Structure 1
Amino acid sequence: MASAVTQAGDRENEDVALVPFARSHLEGALKLSQEMSWPYLLRDWEFALQLGRGFVVIRAGAVVGTALWWPYGDTHASAGMIIVSKAVQGRGYGARLMDALLAAARPRIVTLNSTVEGMALYQRRDFVPIGVIHQHHGIPRERHEAPGPCFVRAMAPSDIGAIVGLDHEATGWTRREMLNRLIEVGDGYVLLRDGIPRGYAISRLFGRGHVVGPVVAESPSDARALIEAALAPLGSVFVRVDTSATSQLGEWLEGIGLQQVSDATTMVLGTQMPSTGPARTFALANQSFG
């Protein structure tokens, strides 16, 4: 009997492979996220893979696990879209994916947003919690008016340098490529003070509708103005905003019809860089990109 069990285990191990995430794995990754009731569409997976890199676990020819990461220069990275099929959880595939991801990403400081189920996996790899993200979504109750163009206006190509600077000020990250691509596929807005950009927001198609984020500003009132500008052209469509529990936006988002539906724990491996200026992050591009 022991010999039969060993042979079965050997066959299973031979039929399992951890390989770099390629375009050919996108359909399998989509099925995994659908199994978890995550809102990603195929275009969201494609966009994430264009900007990042990662690994998949293949078992019997099917994708049963995924993990992606996005480099922000040589010092920082974010990680996400870490999924293991329910049918094969508990077999160490999540550990294999994370160990491969960290071997590729380190010595960068790595940030991720964890579900309750994933926390133990990350804590065993010395990730520590540093905050909580609240996911708000829904259809806004009423049409929103954009602030005046002297205060918030559409983003122009000439703004990219200021946007990258504000983003670095708020996050400590250098992610010009990521921001360029988010702006290319979305609609950007800048908040002006004395004619100088002091905040920005990007709205784009994502999941069931639109996501508003990143939103970087110097105060909750400035962040609300940027979100109002992003909501104004959308009308009655599904909108998602992922914001920190300390952002002071939660009650306002609830009031306009974007209910809090879940939360995630922000975790970091390495020393988290403090904000270097008054600008800070009020909403994420999504929980994977940060």
Structure 2
Amino acid sequence: MSALTSESRFIDSFETRIADIDSVDIDKLHALSMSVAWPHRREDWQFLRDFGQGIAAIDEIGRILGSAMWFPYGDRFATIGMVITSPRLQANGAGQWLMGHALDQVAGRNLGLNATRAARRLFVLIRAGRIEAFSLCRRFGRGHVIGPVVASNHADAIAVVHPHAVEHAGAFLRLDTREKGGTFAGFLSRCGLPIYDIVTTMSRGDPWLPVPGRRGMHEPKTYALVSHTLG
């Protein structure tokens, strides 16, 4: 095992170890995300732990200093998410140590990650007996998030998002998209959802997303993510 992924490391004067994220008190994980101003509730953490795997960095007095999770999609691909490092962890260069452990766990898989700069309801669009588009809206953070949204064109994506926007008008509503401009982004702005930040999608191994220009006219496209973590 390399020094990068050793089982423990001294940070300041405290020894810090790696633990399975399922063994960590969920209130401490919630406090960790709150410390970096992420909106995740305890319920959001539990949802992610139910569907993914992860690790946390814990010092010898029980403080959670960082986390990283991964979500396998079959044997060849996984998304990386919930990568949080406290200022103490970053200041001591230990964030790389934490990620080294996470990457060891998904070795051999192609990886995807979405990163920013710093009651469930489903709408399905059916045409001639075929599902052409769908969107999901669920409780998240300070209100609701719309995602995923999958459609083959802007018009269909707008059609399945519009009911959610109407239902939650005046309340906190979020949608994470890779669309930086165009008809869909314009529609979001008119709904009171202006661009706050831009999602940058990264891959390790085979490309996660189709090569630009190679998607067929009628092939589905993800207009909004489930979340940054799940893609």
Q: TM-score, normalised by structure 1?
A: 0.68
**Which of 163, 169, 179 is 1:229 aligned to?**
163
Q: Deviation per CA, 1:53-96: give whole Å up to 9, x if none.
A: 11100013110100011111112111111111113313232112
Is 1:285 aligned to 2:226, yes or no?
yes
Q: Are 2:11 and 2:89, in contact at CA under 8 Å, matched by a contact in 1? A: no
Query: RCO higher in 1 or 2 (8 Å CA, sep ≥ 6)?
Result: 1
TM-aligned CA distance change 1:235 to 1:88, over 3 Å: same
Displacement over 6 Å in runs of 4+: none
Q: Distance in 1 between matches of 2:94 and 2:10?
A: 16
TM-aligned CA distance change 1:198 to 1:92, over 3 Å: same
Instruction: Please report how far the alpha carbon of residue 27 of structure 1 lies from its aligned counterpart in structure 2 after TM superposition.
Output: 1.5
Number of the residue aligned with 2:35: 35
Q: Are 2:144 and 2:172, in contact at CA under 8 Å, matched by a contact in 1? A: yes
Number of the residue aligned with 2:144: 210
Corresponding letter in the other structure for 2:197:
S
Q: Distance in 1 between matches of 2:155 and 2:129?
A: 18
Q: Which has the larger radius of gyration?
A: 1
Partner SS for 1:188: strand
Between stretches 225-234 and 44-53, larger displacement belongs to 225-234
Corresponding letter in the other structure for 1:46:
Q
Instruction: Please report how far the alpha carbon of residue 232 of structure 1 lies from its aligned counterpart in structure 2 after TM superposition.
Output: 3.9
TM-aligned CA distance change 1:257 to 1:23, over 3 Å: farther
Q: Distance in 1 between matches of 2:26 and 2:227?
A: 19
Is 1:91 aligned to 2:92, yes or no?
yes
Alignment gaps of 5+ in structure 2: 1-8
Q: Are 2:151 and 2:220, in contact at CA under 8 Å, matched by a contact in 1? A: yes
Q: TM-score, normalised by structure 2?
A: 0.85
RMSD over aligned Cα, in angstroms?
Answer: 2.2
Between stretches 253-262 and 44-53, larger displacement belongs to 253-262
* Aligned positions of 1:100-249 closer than 5 A: 100-116=101-117, 186-246=120-180, 248=182, 249=184
Q: Distance in 1 between matches of 2:101 and 2:131?
A: 40
TM-aligned CA distance change 1:13 to 1:70, over 3 Å: farther
TM-aligned CA distance change 1:287 to 1:10, over 3 Å: closer
Q: Which has the higher helix share?
A: 1
Corresponding letter in the other structure for 1:281:
T
Between stretches 45-54 and 22-31, larger displacement belongs to 22-31
